[in-house]
Structure 1
Amino acid sequence: MNRLARRRLLVLCPFPVGRAAGQRLKYEPYFNDWVAQGWDITVSCFMPPDLWEVVYQPGHLWDKLRGVMTGYRRRWRDLLRLWQYDCVYLFMWGTPFGPPVYERLVRWLARGLVYDLEDNIFVGQTAMASASPNRIVRLIKGPGKARYLARVADAVIVASPHMVDPTRALNRNGAVTCIPPSLDTDRICPADPPPLRDRVVIGWTGTFSSRPYLDMLADVLRQLAARVPFTLRVIGNFDYDLPGVDLDVVQWSAAREAEDLQSLDIGVYPLPDDEWTRGKAGLKIIQYQAAGLACVASDVPLSREQIREGETGFLVRNDAEWLDRLERLVRDADLRRAMGAAGRRDAVAQYSQGVIAPAYRAVLDQAAG
């Protein structure tokens, strides 16, 4: 493409590139594709890397204040250059605190605006905020900015099909597209050859904010441990303890992500059915399926769309069903392998980056006019 015909895109995001799952598994993998489609991309992250390292830890008050001040200085400099860009791609929020003053300025100055929101932040993320160990993170998660941006953006991206209608009702143009998280399914893939293990490994992956969902399975896992031998592997960013269960806690690492998923035999995805969880994108299920794992998940609306009951996994409604389905999979290696293979095919067909890329291209073209 002729250099003169290229368009300029400014990406405003909260977190450093390559760090946060909401960015890393949504739009970030498509930067090269956008460049190939004629976009020159500038990324401006609110959080500097040193703030990211401590923001989810208690204490470090001075480091957090310094990082926030750095972020605000960066954002005000961004306003001075907005006129240079054909489109602004804004993920989550422009600035973390207060009413949407900054976001209004972005809307006023931007020629085109794409708003990408994560989960159902319209409900204020009350459950997630209560699990955070520091006040700064809790304050970040207010819904006011999200509602404003969803209303005024030229195009809005949601990650869950259950967010399409409520977001479309807000947006003045009704311009809402559902684009789920995606994976490099060449990297996140089944182990080849499959490892030989003495004990079946049941796995869960997530952050401290979703730990309450893992806690929902505590009694089930203790009962299961009394019936069959297995290891529970928790892949996250927090310590965990579950007396009565053979437990292995693994600190999440981007470098080991594929290897850690391959160390599992069964993936679990417990969730309550409420307004907040109906906005989730089901990333854990996508990861489990891409890695070729049988999956057992709570029978909630999104899980029903991602799991084919009895073929790629099981959908369960109560503790008795959790216990029955998990025991069945622990005892039956052939069933695990068959479900894992079927789930892998679904993940490649629906959530691989080559499948998702055209949706992002269309949204950018729509917003840029």
Structure 2
Amino acid sequence: MALTPYPLGGPSSRYRVYAFQEPLKVNGVQLDIQPFLTPQAFSLRMNGLPNHPLVLADIAAAALRRIRQAQTSRRRYDLLYIHRQTAPSQHAYFDKLFLQTGLPIVFDMDDAVFSQYSITSLLQGSVAATVGNRHLAEYVGLSAPSTTVTIIPTVVDTRYYTVRPALKPKARPVVGWIGTGSTFRRYLLPVLPGLVRVCREAGAEFRVIASTDVRQQTVMAGAAYVPWSLLTEVQELQSFDIGVMPLSDDEFVRGKCAFKLIQYGAVGIPSVGTDIGANGDVIRHGVTGYLAPDAQNFEQRLAALLSSDDLGRSMGLAARRLIEEQFSLHSQTGRMAQVLHEAAGR
């Protein structure tokens, strides 16, 4: 049984759990995915309504489901795969319930969730952990030395993420960002006016793909807003010529898995990213894009890409090759299957 906090619409659950469900079948692993939030509740939360009556009612019902799942899991499953958390609150209580099942546990994280809530008991009670980068692996090694840790980056299905067409002559270049409302406000918004200015000077458009709660702030900053949709996500990414991932340095950021950069590279476009954490694992500076140490340098790197004749398309194609080799679903499925088989055998 795979426990996730979010349904398919949640990026981390979608790419770290749901994406592996069908490929793992070929490797003899059946994943029964049990999200905490329903799609309706998740959508309301993502659009700035966390206290909507439907959300609160769904959380109450979900808590009861989690209790029943813990009570019946021993009879139905060989292994528990827990992505990020057993529940969005009352972690200690729900962690204890699943630790008491006696089933082997594999814990998964793609962010420094330990900076927001404790996962120590869950990690120490797990036989294995899958994490998205070296920083997270180091944390597991310090907190739970007996837990086997494997780095499995967040991946994309490169059969679905395809290379964007070449830029049409005289088309207006598009610089873009994709993410959630919280990451927009925390990392993009503080630097957005400067990035918009760079784009305007180069005759380009800055485009934001996100939830509807950031529409007003996006437009006020002078950028174009595109509502995120699971159905149109890849198509909208393919409208970008250059992708950006600005960050500010803190514990949570050092645990991030550079997924935006992976998405950009998968559609064959170059990126500019802040030189922090896993961003350096995805961007090969000067080859697949540019790393920038600060906001001023970030703007300079973006301006350099915008002034190049092909908008860095050769870099984008090099990024695509890197994604296929190291950050694609097909490159990591076998490793994931091995982790789960070995954990179940213990």
Scaled by the length of structure 1, the TM-score of the pair is: 0.86
Matched, 1:228 2:219: no
Matched, 1:119 2:114: no
Work out the CA distance in 1 between the residues paired with 2:316 and 2:281. 17
Work out the CA distance in 1 between the residues paired with 2:219 and 2:58. 39
Matched, 1:252 2:242: no
2:150 to 177, 195, 200: 177
1:316-342: CA deviation from partner (whole Å, max 9, x where unpaired): 123332222212211213351111111
Q: 1:80 aligns to what? A: 71
Work out the CA distance in 2 between the residues paired with 1:74 and 1:98. 14
Work out the CA distance in 2 between the residues paired with 1:242 and 1:61. 24
Matched, 1:168 2:141: yes
Q: 1:131 aligns to what? A: none
Deviation of the 1:93 alpha carbon = 1.6
Residue pairs, 1:321-360, within 5 angstroms: 321-334=297-310, 336-360=312-336
Deviation of the 1:199 alpha carbon = 1.4
Deviation of the 1:193 alpha carbon = 5.1
Q: Taking structure 1 as reference, are residues 107 and 292 closer, same or farther at Cα in structure 2, changes over 3 Å only? A: same
Deviation of the 1:355 alpha carbon = 0.3
Q: What percent of counterpart residues are identical? A: 28
SS in 2 for 1:310: coil
Q: 2:84 aligns to what? A: 92
CA contact (8 A) 1:116 1:157 kept: yes
SS in 2 for 1:267: strand
CA contact (8 A) 1:220 1:322 kept: no
Matched, 1:317 2:315: no
Work out the CA distance in 1 between the residues paired with 2:65 and 2:73. 12
Work out the CA distance in 2 between the residues paired with 1:93 and 1:149. 9
Deviation of the 1:218 alpha carbon = 2.7
Q: 1:128 aligns to what? A: none
Q: 1:44 aligns to what? A: 34
Work out the CA distance in 1 between the residues paired with 2:50 and 2:71. 34
CA contact (8 A) 1:82 1:110 kept: no
Count the aligned residue pairs. 340
Deviation of the 1:282 alpha carbon = 0.3
Q: Taking structure 1 as reference, are residues 113 and 35 closer, same or farther at Cα in structure 2, changes over 3 Å only? A: same
CA RMSD of aligned residues (A): 2.0
1:70 to 58, 61, 69: 61
SS in 1 for 2:25: helix
Deviation of the 1:96 alpha carbon = 2.4
SS in 2 for 1:41: coil
CA contact (8 A) 1:88 1:110 kept: no
Gaps of 5+ in 2: none
Scaled by the length of structure 2, the TM-score of the pair is: 0.92
Work out the CA distance in 1 between the residues paired with 2:17 and 2:199. 40
Work out the CA distance in 1 between the residues paired with 2:219 and 2:238. 25
1:91-144: CA deviation from partner (whole Å, max 9, x where unpaired): 1222222251221121121321111123001111xxxxxxxxxxxxxxxxxx12
2:280 to 304, 324, 328: 304
Paired amino acid for 1:279:
G
Deviates more, 1:203-212 or 1:189-198: 189-198
Matched, 1:55 2:29: no
Gaps of 5+ in 1: 1-9, 125-142
Deviates more, 1:236-245 or 1:173-182: 236-245
Deviation of the 1:39 alpha carbon = 3.0
**Structure 1 runs of 4+ with >6 Å offset:** none
Q: 1:147 aligns to what? A: 120
Q: 1:207 aligns to what? A: 180
Q: Taking structure 1 as reference, are residues 364 and 321 closer, same or farther at Cα in structure 2, changes over 3 Å only? A: same
Work out the CA distance in 2 between the residues paired with 1:76 and 1:152. 18
CA contact (8 A) 1:225 1:245 kept: no
Paired amino acid for 1:86:
D
Deviates more, 1:173-182 or 1:275-284: 173-182
